[in-house]
Amino acid sequence: MNVETAGAGTLLLVVIMGLVTLATRWGGVFVMSFVPINYRVQQFISAMSGSVLVAVLTPLAVNGDNGARLALLSTAVVMLLVKKPLPAIAAGIVAAALVRAL
Amino acid sequence: MSTVEKHLSRLAWSDVWAGFKQLLPISLFVVVFGVAFGLAAAQTGLGDAATLLMSALVFAGASQFAALELWGEQVPLVPLIITVFAINARHLLMGATLYPWLRELPTARRYGVMLVVSDANWAMAMQALNAGKPGLGLVLGGGIALWSAWCLGSWLGLHFGNAIHDPVSLGLDMVMGCFLLAMVLGGHKSLRMLMIWIVAAGSSLLAYWYLPENSHVVVGALAGGILGVVWMENKHER
C-alpha cells in the first residue's frame, strides 16, 4: 500500500511515524507493568542495559572506517584511564578527525 | 540495583533542570545532526512544515534518515512502519530497563518522562541510577534539551544547511558513538559484565550480517540479557 505525498499524505505519514515511535517509547514500560520485578528480572534488565549500547556500537566499529575505529578505541582507552566521559569523547573525535585528515 | 530505593525515582523541578544542563553539551552536537537531517530532508523534497513536524513528533534521528530513503511521490506504508519500528525498537528496551524506577511514579508522569527518551539521556540516566544516584530528571530534563536541539538543528538545516561542509571529516559523526561507549565503560565492570558484553557484541554482529536489517540492536541486547539471567550475580556480592 502506497501513500501519495501530495496534499495531506505527507502529514499522515509523519503522524504515523510519530505514533509508531511513541509505541516503542511507551511499549517497554507498559509491558513491564505486567512483569513482577524479582531478582531474576533485575539481573536481566541490568545485563540488557549495557548490551543495548554494545549492540549499537559493535557494527559501527566493525563496519566503520579506520577513523571510526580509532575514535572508539581512543574513547575506550581514555575512559578506562581517566574515568571521565568528556576527555574520552574529545579524544575519540580528535582521533577520527586526525585519521581522516591524513 | 538489587535494592531499588524510592528516592532514586524522585522527579522535582531541580532534578529536571539539572538533567537539562547535564545534557546541554551533547545537545550542541545533536544540533549538528539536526542540521544534517534538515538539509537531507530539504534535498528529498519533504517540505519545511513536514520536516519540522517529523523532528518534533518522531525525535529519533536514525529512523528519520531511513524514512527519507523511502520518500518519493508515493511512500510504501508497510515498509515505512517496519523500518521505523525496527530502528526504534531499542526504545522498548530502554523503557523496560527504566521501569524499576519509573514504577514509583504516577502513571501520567511515568509515560510523560518516556516521551523524550533517547539514547544519550537514557544512557546517562542508567549510569546514574546504577551508581545509586537519582536519574529520572536526566531522562526528562536531558530529553527536553536533546529534543530542543534536534528541532532547532532541523530548522537550521532547512534554511542554512549548506553552511556545514563536511561534518564527517571533522569526526562529528562519531560524537554519539563515543559518548555511548564512554557510558558503557563508565558503568559497573566485572568478568560477568565483560562476558555479557562479548555475547551482546557477537550476536549483534551475526544479526547485522545474517538477520533482517535493523534487527541487530534488539538481538544483541536480548542475548546479553539472557546471559545475565543464566549467570546471575551472587546476591550478597554487591
Sign of CA dihedral B125, B128, B130, B134: negative
**Residues B149 and B192 reside in one and the same domain:** no
Of B75, B103, B180, the CB nearest to A3: B75
The predicted-structure confidence for B101-137, as pLDDT tens digits, reads as follows 999 999 999 999 999 999 999 999 999 998 999 999 9
The pLDDT of residue B4 is above 60: no
Give the whole-angstrom CA distance, residue B25 versus residue B14.
Answer: 18
C-alpha grid cell, residue B111: 509515560
Mean pLDDT score of chain B: 91
* Nearest CA-CA partner of B71 in B63, B59, B80: B80
B162 & B193 share domain: no
Q: Above 50 in pLDDT, residue B1? A: no
d(CA B129, CA B15): 13
- B176 within domain boundaries: yes
User: What are the start-end ranges of the E strands in chain B?
Assistant: 74-76
User: What residues contact residue B25 under an 8 Å CB cut-off, 6+ apart?
Assistant: A86
User: Is the domain of B19 the same as that of B132?
Assistant: yes
Maximal CA-CA distance, chain A: 56
In a domain, B1, yes or no: no
Partners of B53 on chain A (C-beta within 8 Å) are: 11, 14
pLDDT at B164: 67
Q: Is there a domain that residue B67 lies in?
A: yes
Domain match, B25 and B137 both: yes
What pLDDT does B3 receive? Answer: 52
- CA B191/CA B158 separation, integer angstroms: 48
User: In angstroms, rounded to a whole number, what is the distance separating the alpha carbons of residues A3 and A9?
Assistant: 6
User: Residue A1: its pLDDT value, please?
Assistant: 81
Q: A39 and B222 in contact by Cβ < 8 A?
A: no
> Do residue A45 and residue B96 have CB atoms under 8 angstroms apart?
yes
d(C-alpha A61, C-alpha B152), whole Å: 29
Closest CA to B98 of A18, A33, A55: A33
| B194 shares a domain with B183 | no
In a domain, B95, yes or no: yes
Summarize pLDDT for B69-101 with one digit per residue, the tens: 889 999 999 989 999 999 999 999 999 999 999
Domain identity same for B169 and B193: no
pLDDT lower than 70: segments of chain A? none
User: Is the pLDDT assigned to residue B238 strictly greater than 60?
Assistant: no
- CA angle in degrees (0–180, nearest 5) for B12-B13-B16: 95
Residue B5 in any domain: the answer is no
> Which residue is associated with the grid cell 575512559?
A79
Residues B165, B228 within the same domain: no
ipTM of the complex: 0.90
Contact A96, A79 (CB under 8 A): no
Q: What is the pLDDT of residue B2?
A: 44
The answer to whether A26 contacts B114, with C-beta atoms less than 8 Å apart, is yes
Question: Closest by alpha carbon to B119, among B83, B143, B86?
Answer: B143
Contact B221, A55 (CB under 8 A): yes
User: Are A89 and B182 inside 8 Å of each other by CB?
Assistant: yes
Q: What does the pLDDT look like over B208-226, one tens digit per residue?
A: 999 998 899 999 999 999 9
Q: Is the pLDDT of residue B63 over 50?
A: yes
Task: Verify whether the Cβ–Cβ distance B94 to A52 is below 8 Å.
Answer: yes
Q: Which of A13, A53, A73, A78 to mutate to test the interface with B (most CBs of B within 10 A)?
A: A53
Segment B139-194, tens digit of pLDDT: 999 999 999 999 999 999 999 877 666 777 888 888 889 988 998 998 888 999 99
pLDDT at B160: 85
Note the pLDDT of residue B172. 80
- The mean per-residue pLDDT over the stretch B19-46 comes to 92
Q: Let me know whether B71 and B86 are in one domain.
A: yes
Tell me the nearest-neighbour CA distance from A100 into chain B, angstroms: 6
Q: Is residue B197 part of a domain?
A: yes
Q: What proportion of chain B, given as a percentage, has pLDDT over 70?
A: 95
Write down the pLDDT at residue B148.
98
Same domain, yes or no: B131 and B38: yes
Question: Residue A80's closest chain B neighbor by CA?
Answer: B185
In a domain, B39, yes or no: yes
Q: What is the pTM of this model?
A: 0.87
**In chain B, how many domains are there?**
2
Same domain, B160 and B227: no
Domain that holds residue B160: 10-187
Q: Are residues B193 and B170 in the same domain?
A: no
Regarding whether B145 and B120 lie in a shared domain, the answer is yes
Answer yes or no: is B71 within a domain.
yes
Residue B237 has pLDDT above 80, yes or no: no
Of A16, A25, A50, the CB nearest to B117: A25
Chain B nearest-CA distance from A5, in A, is: 5
